[in-house]
Structure 1
């Protein structure tokens, strides 16, 4: 059932209402808008573009942050959108606002976008209202569950769980009996994925799972965690959920007399530009932001331009482990670390 049928008017009248034309009574306008709301349509530029085709624009919802991961993914999406010949519309959300995604999506739909990319890394724990509204364009979700109903929801993951398993297995493969984890804040989907990958790697080897220490992505939180972990002589390997926390962790271990990597091996995540130049150079895993953005946008554009076609087959990005000098086999002098000698 379309808007015209539900409102009891002609398609031409619906077009006049959506285009804010004159010569439409208040009662008719009200009936059309109520019908549009009931059916999930919106009075926006997309409706005005129905007669002429797509607007060739894609909207992006992203957290307003300078953190390396979200910022790098946004840059990759921007390049991919423009490479695909589409215009870009960006709306930033604010951490701590559970209605942020819904409001951002409404803003983009009002601009008449043909598709939407959700690059929202945080679970704001809202009241569930977001899942009840509908979006009438294809949606690409990067790493987070879809917060609404859409004609086609596509997923573009960076494979964080697999990468976390890989770095944990790297440390276990060096001979460490277990690996401690310095996790990111658990409101972040990426932090949860890395935690899950670490747990899966330990479980697959039958290794003990040490208590998790949680940071906030900052080097300062890594430093605080490092002071705590340095006091435990059984700690010989730590997987930090991002490079900034790993760098702060190494500083604290070094100040406590725990050498990296002779006493404690440390692995980060992201391969930020400075990771190769800290002391010691940091072993980490490189996130394929550009590849994920290009692959995801290819799928989204296909869904926009071929609405009746089956979705393209998905492919996982390769894991790019960058082994540097911050990891080594565990100390072997009767199983004792330098802090015990």
Structure 2
């Protein structure tokens, strides 16, 4: 029988198990000195086997992540004041890494993310793990998952569960917003969206779920696809819709899959003389646009972008420190909150 099970496991046990000095174990667990990747991994593996790592991490006393490799599709990098979601999310991630003393090495490669380039960059940076943002291309995910490195997909979806993912609960949040509109008497709701990534399609699923749950005819909830997520795309789509139908075709609310679309929708509807929310209510999604500065102020679904950044690093540390690479992958979804403002503050008489 292993006598270690009869007493508390301490740092000396980890030192003996890993075959390193006590000071080396301390530096690894507290992030107080540069340690080679090989030695660092050996110490963490020994601490995990002994159960010491779990005890330390539960107390929030372990710095198990020194360097992460960040890969973002160039098209999703914040380059203007429209791409506020990317700017807010990446700023939150950078700030959280700085708070933890974790170095971030950004990927710089071809416009389309390539697994071989990402892995080469991560290895050159001696990164413990890779944070992939947005890009849920199945081929890319499979290649990264087979690499033996810890990989987290942030704000994306992996139906094959090849890698860990952290994302907002898009489907649930869209259902919540639609249910709220239905509860206020709206029946004919227009969902303004675009043909984006799978996370955007989950918002469409949630919109449809709300109708199904109340046994309402599915065709009451109509979907209008814009060319993209920018305000001008919303304006173009709505202008075409209004022209084709001679008005709003009986719709009393527009639920937009992004705040940018909602901002464009507000402008276009008002240009056509519609009163908001008396004639038509408008609801957005994301909660990062200056919704309290629009006229009227924008009702929206707020995505917890700061919490997504924190959860991503926690999930990566969990994978490296406690569960190990052979543990089943996990999918973390964070709840979103509806922020009620003037653009939808109107109850229809039924």
Q: TM-score, normalised by structure 1?
A: 0.72
The counterpart of 2:237, out of the listed 225, 229, 250, is 225
Report how many residues are paired: 278
Helix, strand or coil at the partner of 1:118: strand
1:244 and 1:313, CA in 2 relative to 1: closer, same or farther beyond 3 A?
closer
Bigger proportion of residues as helix: 2
Measured after TM superposition, the shift of residue 145 of structure 1 is 4.0
Q: Distance in 2 between matches of 1:271 and 1:184?
A: 18
Q: Which residue in the other structure is 1:58 paired with?
A: 68
Do the aligned residues in 1 keep the contact of 2:193 with 2:225 (CA within 8 Å)? yes
CA RMSD in angstroms comes to 3.1
Q: Which residue in the other structure is 1:131 paired with?
A: 142
The Cα offsets for residues 116-157 of structure 1, whole Å up to 9 and x where unpaired, read as 11112465xx8x47624622221111233459997xx32211
Q: Which residue in the other structure is 1:270 paired with?
A: 286
Q: Which residue in the other structure is 1:202 paired with?
A: 211
1:69 and 1:218, CA in 2 relative to 1: closer, same or farther beyond 3 A?
same
Measured after TM superposition, the shift of residue 322 of structure 1 is 0.5
Do the aligned residues in 1 keep the contact of 2:194 with 2:227 (CA within 8 Å)? yes
1:245 to 2:264 alignment: no
Q: Distance in 2 between matches of 1:214 and 1:234?
A: 20
Do the aligned residues in 2 keep the contact of 1:58 with 1:117 (CA within 8 Å)? yes
Worse overlay, 276-285 or 140-149: 140-149
Task: Identify unmatched segments of 5+ residues in structure 2.
Answer: 1-34, 42-64
Do the aligned residues in 2 keep the contact of 1:63 with 1:70 (CA within 8 Å)? no
Measured after TM superposition, the shift of residue 53 of structure 1 is 2.3
Do the aligned residues in 2 keep the contact of 1:237 with 1:265 (CA within 8 Å)? yes
Measured after TM superposition, the shift of residue 106 of structure 1 is 3.0
The Cα offsets for residues 185-218 of structure 1, whole Å up to 9 and x where unpaired, read as 32x2331121121121122223333133234111
Helix, strand or coil at the partner of 2:122: helix
Helix, strand or coil at the partner of 1:212: strand
Task: Identify unmatched segments of 5+ residues in structure 1.
Answer: 1-47, 336-341
Q: Which residue in the other structure is 2:153 paired with?
A: 141
1:129 and 1:68, CA in 2 relative to 1: closer, same or farther beyond 3 A?
closer
Q: Which residue in the other structure is 2:172 paired with?
A: 162
The Cα offsets for residues 208-265 of structure 1, whole Å up to 9 and x where unpaired, read as 3313323411110111122234423312111111111111111111111221100110
Do the aligned residues in 2 keep the contact of 1:299 with 1:311 (CA within 8 Å)? no
Q: Which residue in the other structure is 2:29 paired with?
A: none
Q: Distance in 2 between matches of 1:288 and 1:49?
A: 36
Higher relative contact order (CA 8 A, sep 6+): 2
Worse overlay, 305-314 or 265-274: 305-314
1:85 to 2:94 alignment: no
Measured after TM superposition, the shift of residue 266 of structure 1 is 0.5
Q: Which residue in the other structure is 2:336 paired with?
A: 319
Q: TM-score, normalised by structure 2?
A: 0.70
1:80 and 1:165, CA in 2 relative to 1: closer, same or farther beyond 3 A?
same
1:274 and 1:308, CA in 2 relative to 1: closer, same or farther beyond 3 A?
closer
Do the aligned residues in 2 keep the contact of 1:132 with 1:148 (CA within 8 Å)? no
Helix, strand or coil at the partner of 1:210: strand
Q: Distance in 2 between matches of 1:313 and 1:68?
A: 28
Helix, strand or coil at the partner of 2:295: coil
1:118 and 1:274, CA in 2 relative to 1: closer, same or farther beyond 3 A?
same
1:93 and 1:233, CA in 2 relative to 1: closer, same or farther beyond 3 A?
farther
